[in-house]
């Protein structure tokens, strides 16, 4: 046990195996017992947790309903999930039926500590999907004195046939960090592809069609919408897909000078960025008016209609026989960010 520098502890949350990675500036909690979810990302100097936590809290995977939609939503505690091989709505692919955001987000992962000293800690998680011959190995790493989490992954096709997959990271921001007027910054030249239909009650903010140049896009009722500004509560739900990214990077910053977060990743593997907004307009299931969140989700494939739709439009990730794809992501705090 070490209580200085960078350190690593194994704990239990809601009966689930979890790991705490911590240094002088940052504390991150990872659930090995459920999806490898990140359920805390706390900047210690400002006491800012960038993770949104659902009002329903953390539930063990065995709790709740088990239909194709509720299997994810009933156990969704907020935070940051790995999504594979199906992104979005339930879908059928080559005879395999997948639930919403199925299936590795709902599975327990094996875990082992691979580094633990005063300068660096790392824990390696791994899991095999049940309905496709896919294996993911995922290492969370933190070093002393740096407010950044490093994630290194390998995705392996353990079969002799070519496979398609939607691979993504479901990263969601909310209170107490997220506030109206926060800014979203992405690389210049990004293009916005609106979802084909509204995803919630009350219409939509962005007009169908496109693609459009980020951040000013046609509004559904006329005029334009600036997608780089986080809107006030009460607006309609929305999801759009950002493409043509020069690099995998976005920032969520506070124009008042509070801390922000920068997420970087290998855009050659995850070339799209989903922008999801649930602003409290959904007064029925599943949000009951309690969610004010923005998701910024690096993905291979879109739309949020499931794997079959991504295969049809040619955006799904292709894995050749016995192929291995590697991916890195970095999430780091921006201190004193401005708009």
Kindly list the structural domains of the chain, giving each domain's residue range(s) and its CATH number in brackets, ordered by start: 7-334 (2.70.98.10)
Quickly state the pLDDT bin for 62 (edges 50, 70, 90): low
Mean pLDDT rounded to a whole number for the chain: 94
**Mean pLDDT of the 146-150 span:** 98
Q: What is the pLDDT of residues 209-262, one digit of tens each?
A: 989 999 999 999 899 999 999 999 999 999 999 999 999 999 999 999 999 999
Query: Cα separation of 145 and 92, whole Å?
Result: 46
What pLDDT does residue 32 have? 97
Q: What pLDDT is recorded for position 74? A: 86
Contact 330, 265 (CB under 8 A): yes
Tell me the pLDDT tens digit for each residue of 160-185.
999 999 999 999 999 999 999 999 99
Confidence of residue 6 (pLDDT cuts 50, 70, 90): very high
CA distance 320 to 315: 15
pLDDT category, 339, cuts 50, 70, 90?
low
Pure H helices in the chain: 70-73, 307-313
Q: Is the pLDDT of residue 9 over 80?
A: yes
Q: What is the pLDDT of residue 337?
A: 64
Q: What is the DSSP code string of 84-142?
A: -B--BS-EEETTEEE-TTTBGGGS--EEEEEEESSSEEEEEEEEE-SSSSEEEEEEEEE
pTM: 0.96
* Model pLDDT, residue 294: 97
Question: Radius of gyration of the chain from Cα atoms?
Answer: 19
Percent of the chain with pLDDT over 70: 97
Instruction: Inform me whether the pLDDT recorded for 197 exceeds 70.
Output: yes
Mean pLDDT over 120-125 rounds to 98
- Work out the average pLDDT over 303-332: 98
Using CA atoms, how far apart are residues 25 and 130, in angstroms rounded to an integer? Answer: 38
Distance set, CA 318 to CA 101, 155, 322, 329 (Å): 18, 11, 12, 20
């Amino acid at each position: 046990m070490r209580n200085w520098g960078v350190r690593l502890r194994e704990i239990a949350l809601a009966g689930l195996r979890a790991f705490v990675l911590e240094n002088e500036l940052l504390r991150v909690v990872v659930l090995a017992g459920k999806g490898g979810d990140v359920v805390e990302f706390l900047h210690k100097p400002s006491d800012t947790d960038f993770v949104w936590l659902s009002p329903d809290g953390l539930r063990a995977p065995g709790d709740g309903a088990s239909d194709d939609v509720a299997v994810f939503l009933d156990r969704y505690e907020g935070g940051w999930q790995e999504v594979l091989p199906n992104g979005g709505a339930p879908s059928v692919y080559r005879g395999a039926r997948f639930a919403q955001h199925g299936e590795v987000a709902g599975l327990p992962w094996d875990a082992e500590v691979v580094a633990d000293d005063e300068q660096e800690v790392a824990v390696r998680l791994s899991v095999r999907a049940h309905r496709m011959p896919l294996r993911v190995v995922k290492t969370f790493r933190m070093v002393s004195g740096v407010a950044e989490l490093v994630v290194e992954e390998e995705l392996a096709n353990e079969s002799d046939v070519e496979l398609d997959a939607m691979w993504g990271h479901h990263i969601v921001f909310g209170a107490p960090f997220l506030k109206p007027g926060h800014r979203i910054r992405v690389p210049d030249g990004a293009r916005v592809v609106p979802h084909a239909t509204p995803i919630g009650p009350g219409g939509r903010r962005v007009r169908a069609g496109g693609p459009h140049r980020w951040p000013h896009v046609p509004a559904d009722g006329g005029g334009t919408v600036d997608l780089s500004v986080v809107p006030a509560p009460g607006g309609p739900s929305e999801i759009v897909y950002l493409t043509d990214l020069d690099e995998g990077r976005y920032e969520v910053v506070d124009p008042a000078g509070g801390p922000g977060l920068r997420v970087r990743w290998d855009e050659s593997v995850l070339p799209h960025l989903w922008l999801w907004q649930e602003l409290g307009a959904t007064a029925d299931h599943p949000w009951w008016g309690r969610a004010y969140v923005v998701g910024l989700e690096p993905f291979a494939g879109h739309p949020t209609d499931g794997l079959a739709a991504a295969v049809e439009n040619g955006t799904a990730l292709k894995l050749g026989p016995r192929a291995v794809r590697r991916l890195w992501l970095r999430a780091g705090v921006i201190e004193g960010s401005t708009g």
